[in-house]
């Protein structure tokens, strides 16, 4: 068995792992890199493998950094099945269409700004990575499978999805591969693991056995703040800000937005927050919320509370779901009293850019960052305390207060990752730490060695490991 790490190696985004074993070649994820120019250049490069020779794809969940290059893969000749869960299939249709739409807008904007340049690089960047037609082609290849039931995607492979507790439909992949000697080797890919004890989704499923493990490490070097302290800070920032300004929350449309709304409803019911005007300005988030309700069966024991909250959300005069562009533009006129939740979560595209453009320079406003920000992204620069950013061709002073609410992360922190890994009956023969920046990955690898006696490696981008 060979595994080549074509993405998410000493970085958080662009998850893509090529597995080759006994006449079978498949990908685990095919994600888009996120976080500035370097990520864009990575996405524009040709695949380092022949897409037409890939037998199938195992997709762990719908987030674009795991799924975003599937249409490009289909456009380059891949015709095999894409296996994932039912909820991921539904979310994928929404997210990939939104991705294609954003790329088209960005390409047109780039072409307009650089219309007098003739270099090959400029001509290439003026083209989207893929179109809605490519998305449709990729979606035709998606096959949904339930949690907990084995199936055979190839004569020499068995596959089973288990709940990863990260976002709706997220999965851990258990993969049994023929070893050529009449036996099998078991590969487990964690995908992105959720933080245990969070609202809405179930905790990540413990796995008892693996010969080879791929484990994520997004927060492999830190612990999350507890939920109660996080909610206290949310209440303090919102209460202090809305009398004079607005609160802008860049949030991933899938998972994070629904969790934030759940907490806002609870806090208002408890009297800890006034009836502030909350605007969910993201067509994708609106669609994702509907899909979330459709897949009610995968929720945890707090699902009844979620359903009650969801009904109240639709009935509440203080919470507004916005899809129309004109309605979104009208939000620019609001000077105070608004909480605006909008995508993208890393502030690199989408409607949130317009809300940041209109509110960042106002010291009476606040920005709440509640998810991981990849190196190079606008969100990461704001978290790092930059005083000025360039948006829509002009320099914008950062005078609004910027707050990081780590307790809302959908990723497992270091303790949760180690606890999940400790469930193996014995250490896997080989463990590869992926999907984390170098410091986080190396820190988690060290803890896995010291605490659990794992044989651990942190692969580099493009590296092939023979097993």
Task: Reduce the DSSP state of residue 139 to 3 states and report it.
Answer: helix
Q: Which of 28, 33, 31 is nearest to 18 (CA)?
A: 28
CA quadruple 250, 255, 259, 262: dihedral sign: positive
Between CA 88 and CA 279 the distance in angstroms is 25
How do residues 89-100 score in pLDDT, each as one tens digit? 999 998 999 889
Does residue 316 surpass a pLDDT of 70? no
Strand partners, 159: 151, 175
H/E element, 334: none
How do residues 217-249 score in pLDDT, each as one tens digit? 999 999 998 888 999 999 999 999 999 999 999
Does residue 116 surpass a pLDDT of 60? no
At residue 117, the pLDDT reads: 56
Burial of 49 from C-beta contacts in 10 A (0-12 / 13-18 / 19+): middle
- Side-chain half-sphere exposure of 42, counting CA atoms within 13 A: 24
Q: What is the mean pLDDT of residues 138-154?
A: 97
At residue 317, the pLDDT reads: 63
Between CA 47 and CA 44 the distance in angstroms is 9
pLDDT confidence of 204, banded at 50, 70, 90?
A: very high
* CA-based R_g, the chain, Å: 22
Q: What is the mean pLDDT of residues 369-373?
A: 83
Q: Where are the alpha helices (DSSP H) in 255-348?
A: 256-269, 283-294, 303-315, 325-330
Does residue 123 surpass a pLDDT of 50? no
> What number of other Cβ atoms are within 10 A of residue 253's Cβ?
27
9 vs 120, which has greater pLDDT? Answer: 9
User: Is the CATH code 3.60.15.10 the one for domain 2-222+410-466?
Assistant: yes
Does residue 431 surpass a pLDDT of 60? yes
Share of residues in the chain with pLDDT > 70 (%): 91
At residue 351, the pLDDT reads: 87
Greatest mean pLDDT among 106-120, 184-198, 268-282, 341-355 lies in 184-198
Q: Which of 100, 13, 52, 106 is nearest to 349 (CA)?
A: 106
At residue 318, the pLDDT reads: 76
Phi, psi of 319 (to 5 degrees): -120, 125
pLDDT confidence of 299, banded at 50, 70, 90?
A: low
How do residues 25-55 score in pLDDT, each as one tens digit? 999 999 999 877 888 889 999 999 999 999 9
Q: What is the mean pLDDT of residues 271-284?
A: 86
- Each domain of the chain, given as residue ranges in start order, spans 2-222+410-466, 227-408
Percent helix, strand and coil across the chain, each to the nearest 5 = 35, 20, 40
Give yes or no on whether 2-222+410-466 and 227-408 have one common fold: no
CATH of domain 227-408: 3.40.50.10890
Q: What letter does residue 118 receive in the DSSP assignment?
A: -
Task: Reduce the DSSP state of residue 282 to 3 states and report it.
Answer: coil
At residue 109, the pLDDT reads: 72
Between CA 252 and CA 254 the distance in angstroms is 5
What are 400's two structure tokens? 């609004």
Give, in degrees to the nearest 5, the angle at Cα 341 between 337 and 342. 130
Q: What is the mean pLDDT of residues 201-220?
A: 95
Between CA 306 and CA 309 the distance in angstroms is 5
Q: What is the pTM of this model?
A: 0.86
Burial of 129 from C-beta contacts in 10 A (0-12 / 13-18 / 19+): buried
Q: Which of 290, 307, 301 is nearest to 254 (CA)?
A: 290
Q: What letter does residue 114 receive in the DSSP assignment?
A: T
Instruction: Give yes or no for a contact between 32 and 25, defined as CB atoms under 8 angstroms apart.
Output: no
Q: What is the mean pLDDT of residues 166-179?
A: 94
């994070």: which residue's tokens?
Answer: 256
Sheet holding 184-189, edge to edge: 151-154, 157-163, 171-178, 184-189, 212-216, 430-434, 456-457
Q: What is the mean pLDDT of residues 372-387?
A: 87
Share of residues in the chain with pLDDT > 90 (%): 62
Q: Rounding to the nearest 10 degrees, give the CA dihedral for residues 65, 145, 190, 87.
A: 50
Q: In residues, how long is the chain?
A: 467
At residue 47, the pLDDT reads: 96
44 vs 125, which has greater pLDDT? Answer: 44
Does residue 459 surpass a pLDDT of 90? yes
């Amino acid at each position: 068995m060979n595994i080549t790490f074509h993405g998410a190696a000493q970085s958080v985004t662009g998850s893509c792992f090529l597995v080759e074993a006994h006449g079978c070649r498949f990908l685990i994820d095919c994600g888009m890199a996120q976080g500035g120019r370097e990520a864009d250049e990575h996405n524009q490069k040709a695949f380092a493998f022949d897409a037409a020779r890939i037998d199938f794809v195992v997709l762990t969940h719908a987030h674009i950094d795991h799924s975003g290059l599937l249409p490009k893969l289909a456009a380059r000749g891949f015709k095999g099945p894409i296996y994932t869960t039912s909820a991921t299939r539904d979310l994928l249709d929404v997210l990939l269409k939104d991705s294609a739409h954003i790329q088209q807008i960005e390409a047109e904007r780039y072409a307009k700004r650089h219309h007098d340049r003739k270099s090959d690089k400029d001509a290439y960047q003026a083209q989207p990575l893929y179109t809605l037609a490519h998305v449709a082609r990729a979606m035709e290849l998606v096959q949904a499978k339930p949690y907990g039931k084995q199936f055979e995607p190839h004569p020499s492979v068995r596959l089973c999805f288990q709940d990863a507790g990260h976002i709706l439909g997220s999965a851990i992949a258990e993969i049994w591969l023929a070893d050529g000697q009449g036996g099998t080797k078991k590969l487990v890919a964690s995908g992105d693991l959720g933080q245990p004890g969070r609202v809405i989704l179930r905790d990540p499923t413990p796995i008892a056995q693996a010969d080879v493990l791929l484990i994520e490490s997004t927060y492999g070097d830190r612990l999350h703040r507890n939920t109660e302290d996080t909610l206290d800070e949310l209440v303090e920032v919102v209460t202090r800000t809305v009398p004079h300004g607005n609160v802008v929350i860049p949030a991933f449309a899938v998972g994070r937005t629904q969790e934030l709304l759940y907490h806002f409803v609870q806090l208002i019911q408890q009297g800890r927050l006034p009836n502030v005007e909350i605007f969910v300005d993201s067509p994708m988030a609106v669609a994702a919320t509907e899909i979330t309700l459709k897949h009610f069966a995968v929720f945890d024991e707090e699902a009844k509370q979620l359903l009650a909250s969801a009904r109240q959300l639709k009935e509440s005069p203080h919470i507004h779901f916005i899809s129309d562009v004109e309605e979104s533009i009208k939000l620019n006129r609001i000077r105070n009293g608004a909480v605006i939740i909008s995508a993208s979560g890393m502030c690199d595209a989408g409607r949130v850019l317009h809300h940041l453009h209109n509110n960042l320079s106002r010291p009476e406003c606040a920005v709440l960052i509640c998810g991981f920000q990849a190196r190079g992204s606008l969100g990461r620069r704001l978290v790092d305390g930059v005083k000025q950013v360039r948006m829509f061709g002009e320099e914008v002073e950062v005078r609004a207060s910027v707050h990081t609410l780590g307790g809302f992360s959908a990723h497992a922190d270091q303790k949760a990752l180690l606890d999940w890994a400790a469930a193996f009956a014995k250490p896997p023969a080989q463990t590869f730490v992926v999907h984390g920046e170098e410091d986080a990955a190396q820190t988690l690898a060290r803890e896995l060695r010291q605490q659990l006696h794992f044989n651990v490696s942190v692969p580099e981008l493009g590296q092939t490991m023979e097993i």
